[in-house]
Structure formats: structure tokens, C-alpha cells
Amino acid sequence: MLEHNMPPALPADALRVVYVRVANRSDWTWTRTDPEGRSVDFAFFCDGAVVTTVPLDHDEVAPGEDAVFSFTWRTPAKQGRYELRFDMVEQNVCFFGDRNGPLAELAVHVARPGRSESEKMMDSALEHNYWFYLPTQGVYWSSDGPTYPLFVRDAKGASFRDLEARSYVDYVMGWGSALLGYAHPEVQSAVREMLPQACLPALPHELQMRVTEQLCAAFPGAEMALFGKNRSDVITAGVRLAREYTGRPHVLFSGSHGWQDWNNRLIGNEPESTGFAYGDLAGLHRLLERERGRLAAIVLEPAAQVMGIDGPVLGGDAAFLSQVRELCDREGAVLLFDEIMTGFRYHDGSAQAHFGVAPDLTALGKALSNGMPLAALVGRRDLFTPGMHRIRYNPTFAGDIYALAAAGAALRIYAREDVPGKVWAFGERLMHAINYLCDDLGLPASAGGLPIRMMVSFTLENPRRRTLARTLLQQELLKGGVLCFQGSMIPSAAHGEREHELTIAAYDRALRLVADALERDALVPLLEIPEIG
């Protein structure tokens, strides 16, 4: 065994992610799967009992190569001394190297500290509901003690506090919805004014019409609108309207557009090739040739597409968007821009305004109501009027007046202030500072993408080392009081000088630690949270 991250002492009844790196020093190749059942697994024992087995992290580990294993272990509830054993298993028979003796044996002392409010809440979540993002997947303790955030007590501006009142600079920002910052005073005031009234009256509230007028004024090609609660609601409504308008079934897409059934990546009802790469005009032409006479719509994120956990984040291409517009016109298909992320955030308030390309339909959300649940579809009248009564779109909570009040206030702010310019400037400065740190350390990492949606990624050739480095960076940023999402960061208008200084201080410390670990080839002993990627 080369290394592990098991400390000599642990809290009782706590989640711990165990990492072990093993070198194959035998004269034969370990395999993940074998037709004769001779696959090789890692085995973990506590006081002689098997706790878990873990398959190899890739298909084969040849002599001289390494394998990294990780798994989540809940420590024993009873305090005391426990004997742990690591080993390799083939056909349920333990071996290591020359098949003489276990891989490693060690003892840990388990103590019982008082359980925190966060840990008690996590117990309830694991029992009843854990379908949410946690950067540590429930791990609370580090070797330094109670460390990682699990639940939010309150959030304001660009920060939140966890249940133990620890403060964090936030770059997830309600998944990009809190563009103005959490609990913006003007937005909060607008919602507060409506609280004495019913959230959902029997007939449409006047606010619904007022916000519709604001949206149509903000997007010149928009003549009509409908509301929903999220991207999936309004994109699906747009797809149904396009199918009704054209009388055709098929949809081509580029980007991420929600989870409902029209999106064939989830249900497999249509070929995977209905998706196309942004900027690939030749590929789009091939798809159009195949779909000729059957194409209802092209759904497209016009900018800020994220192409993977290591990026890139695409900036947008006016020439490509113009050509897609021309192709839709030629084919008689509907062009739907998914501006859920770029709406109110991109230069000039939207990608379509910045690039001068008008779609037939536009999906908006996230920043539309600065964190309140609301999304909208806006577009041409002749697309809405013949189809709305046939697409069966009647979501109960689309007329929620609290969310509409928030949207009205947010839209007034977007109309009078250059919010994109402010966020863009902050993001550019932050990216520059992070890249300076990476260059100064000689670290194979950089902050790329857009200032409004940036990504810090590593350029290590070995994909497993890249994953471990990414994980260690996020872990250490959390220790430094900064929350991001797998290296992705979405600044808001509430991020200012204080947040910049705290963020760069956290990155400085974290990047130095990662650089040192990479130089010593010693990532595994430092890791405490589950792998990212």
C-alpha cells in the first residue's frame, strides 16, 4: 500500500470518506471484470468483519501501476479502539502482492463528542430525504474537527451561514438564481408587500399582467408570455407550442434544457444524435438533412454552455447563431433560445440582445425573480395563440403572486442598473487573480470560461489525478469559507471587495496545498470528502 487518509482518532457514528492508494507490486495484472470471475477488489475490515469491498477504479492495473479506492464509512457508534484491515480480494480470497499477509493493519480510537445540530439534521436527511446538493455528501468532520457545512441557517448578499453559524462566501448563489444577491432589500420589500394577500387567487392577479408587460418590453421580439416554476416547465411548453405550430415531431438541441420527457437524453425515445455541438455547423446541417420535413424546433443555449466538469464554458458566437436563425427560417422550424442562465446576466441583458439574433421563443428563469421560483416563456403571438389551448399547460402555481412580485422588482432593477456590467467586472478581476496564483505556483490549473460563469479546472493528463486534485481544491476552499460547485463559480451583483479578498485568501491557501500535494504525489492522505468528477 502506498498511502491512506485514515487518522488515528475519529468521532463516533460519523460519516468518513476513506481513500487508499495501492501499488500493484505483483507479477500479474489485476482486472476489474474477468470472464472466469477472477476480478480484483479492495476489501475493508473492521474488527475482523468485512465492511465493504470496492472494485478497481479502471479496467486493469498492470504490475507497477497504482489504483485509488474510495468509499464512505460510518464509524462505529460505540466508542473504543477498533482494528482496521485493508486488503485485496480475488474470488473472495484475500491477498496482496506476493499473497503473504494483508495490505495494511491499523488501529483507530473512536470517541463520542456531542452531536452537532448539522449532524442531527443529516441523520434525518439520510433517513427521509437526501435528494439535494451537498459538496461533502454528508461528511461533517475533518481531521481538524467539525469543519464542513451541511445545511444553511440563513443567507444574505453573497454569503450564507450554516447551522453552527459559520459564514461562507457563496458562488453557487441559488444555482445562479440570486443574481442580485440573496434577500435583496428591494426584492424582499416587494414580496413583503404582497404577503397579506393570498399567494394564489382564483383569478389572475394584476401582477401577472404587469410582469408580462415588463418582459415584453425587455425582449423586443416578445409579444406574449406564459409563466411556470422552472426551466423544465417553460422549455417543455415551448417545445409543445413548436410542435403544434409546425405539425412536426422532432427537436434538435444544444445545451442543458431540463429533465422532462421531450429531452431524449433521459428516456431514449429518439437517437442521441438529436443533440449537436455548439458551433458545429456541419454537424447541424447533417442533422437537418436527416430531419427534413420532420423538424419542429431547435432549442439552443446561445451562450455560457458548460461542456463538462473541466469545461470549457462557451462564450457565444454571433455568426453561428445567425446561421442557426437562417436555417430555422429555411426549414420552417421554431428557434427557441434557452436563456435561463444568460437572461439578465449576459452583456446587454441577454445573449440575443448582445449578438443581435432574435429567436422565436425565449425561456427565462433563475435571475428573473432573484431566487423566488418563477420561469417564463416569451415570444411571437402567432406561436402562442393557436397552440396554447392544445398543449394542456395549466400549472397550478404559475400565478404565484409572491414570485411575481419578486420578478417585478428585479425587472425594475435590471432596467435601471447595469447588473451584467457589474458582475462581469467582478468576475474578470477574480479570474485574473486566480490565474495569477496558479501561474505563480506553476500549478497546471486555471480559471476559464466567462466572468459570469467561470470554472477552475486542472490540466493534468492523468484523469484520476485530475479528479483528486479537483476534489482536494473544493475541500480546502470549504475549509477556507468558500463554496463553489465542482470548480464552477457564478458571481452575483452582491459580490464585492470583501468577498473578493476572502475568496483570494482561500484560493491562495488551497492552491498552495494542492500544488504541494501534486509535487509530492501525496493527494490521497489529505482527502476527506467524496470524489468530484
Q: What cell does 477 get?
A: 476552499
- Point out which residues pair with 86 in neighbouring strands: 44, 104
Whole-angstrom Cα distance, residue 491 to residue 180? 10
The whole-number pLDDT of residue 268 equals 42
Q: What cell does 140 get?
A: 461533517
Q: What CATH class does 185-416 carry?
A: alpha beta
E-strand stretches of 290-415: 295-300, 334-338, 361-364, 375-379
In Å, how far are 238, 305, 343 from 346, measured between CA atoms? 22, 12, 6
Torsion, Cα 253 256 260 262, to 10 degrees, reads 10
Identify the band that residue 36 occupies on the pLDDT scale cut at 50, 70 and 90.
confident
Residues 76, 46 contacting (CB under 8 angstroms): yes
Q: Of 275, 267, 332, which Cα lies nearest the Cα of 300?
A: 275
The whole-number pLDDT of residue 264 equals 52
Model's pTM, two decimal places?
0.93
Fold of 3-111: Immunoglobulin-like (2.60.40)
- Summarize the confidence of residues 381-406 as an average pLDDT: 95
- Summarize the confidence of residues 107-118 as an average pLDDT: 91
Identify the band that residue 99 occupies on the pLDDT scale cut at 50, 70 and 90.
low
In Å, how far are 301, 320, 323, 357, 358 from 326, measured between CA atoms? 17, 10, 5, 10, 11
- Summarize the confidence of residues 57-63 as an average pLDDT: 90
Give Cα 348 distance to the centre of its chain: 25
Burial of 432 (0-12, 13-18, 19+ CB in 10 A): exposed
Q: Reply yes or no on whether the pLDDT at 145 is more than 50.
A: yes
Strands 104-111 and 80-90 come out as antiparallel
Q: Collapsing DSSP states into helix, strand and coil, what is residue 336? A: strand
Residues 439, 242 contacting (CB under 8 angstroms): no
Whole-angstrom Cα distance, residue 107 to residue 96? 19
Whole-angstrom Cα distance, residue 43 to residue 87? 5
Strands 40-46 and 49-55 come out as antiparallel
Cα angle 57, 62, 67 (rounded to 5 degrees) comes to: 30
Q: Reply yes or no on whether the pLDDT at 263 is more than 70.
A: no
The whole-number pLDDT of residue 91 equals 74
Q: Collapsing DSSP states into helix, strand and coil, what is residue 523? A: coil
The whole-number pLDDT of residue 95 equals 66
The whole-number pLDDT of residue 27 equals 86
Q: Of 17, 24, 18, which Cα lies nearest the Cα of 1?
A: 24
User: pLDDT, tens digit, for every residue of 319-333?
Assistant: 999 999 999 999 999
3-state helix, strand, coil in the chain (%, to 5): 35, 25, 40
Q: Of 218, 217, 193, 216, which Cα lies nearest the Cα of 205?
A: 193
Show me where the domains of the chain are located.
3-111, 117-182+419-526, 185-416
Q: Reply yes or no on whether the pLDDT at 271 is more than 50.
A: no
Q: Reply yes or no on whether the pLDDT at 269 is more than 50.
A: no
Which ranges of 162-294 would DSSP assign to H, the alpha helix?
173-176, 185-194, 206-218, 231-246, 264-267, 281-290
Whole-angstrom Cα distance, residue 170 to residue 220? 34
Residues 526, 509 contacting (CB under 8 angstroms): no
Q: Reply yes or no on whether the pLDDT at 215 is more than 70.
A: yes
Domain over 117-182+419-526 is classified CATH 3.20.20.70: no
Strands 250-254 and 295-300 come out as parallel
Length of the chain: 533
The whole-number pLDDT of residue 50 equals 93
Whole-angstrom Cα distance, residue 525 to residue 8? 13
* Residue the block writes with cell 468518513: 16
Q: Reply yes or no on whether the pLDDT at 98 is more than 50.
A: no
Q: Of 419, 414, 457, which Cα lies nearest the Cα of 438?
A: 457
15-19, 261-265, 509-513: which range is least confident on average?
Answer: 261-265
Q: Reply yes or no on whether the pLDDT at 31 is more than 80.
A: yes
The whole-number pLDDT of residue 262 equals 64
- Summarize the confidence of residues 99-117 as an average pLDDT: 84
Q: What is the DSSP string of 192-224?
A: HHHTTS-SS-SS--HHHHHHHHHHHHHSTT--E
What radius of gyration, in Å, describes the C-alpha atoms of the chain? 26
96-105, 299-308, 323-332, 514-523: which range is least confident on average?
Answer: 96-105
Q: What cell does 434 get?
A: 486566480
Same fold, 3-111 and 117-182+419-526: no
Amino acid at residue number 437: L
Which ranges of 257-395 would DSSP assign to H, the alpha helix?
264-267, 281-290, 318-331, 351-355, 381-384
Mean model confidence pLDDT for the chain:
93
User: pLDDT, tens digit, for every residue of 471-521?
Assistant: 999 999 999 999 999 999 999 999 999 999 999 999 999 999 999 999 999
Q: Reply yes or no on whether the pLDDT at 266 is more than 60.
A: no
Whole-angstrom Cα distance, residue 252 to residue 300? 8
Whole-angstrom Cα distance, residue 226 to residue 376? 6
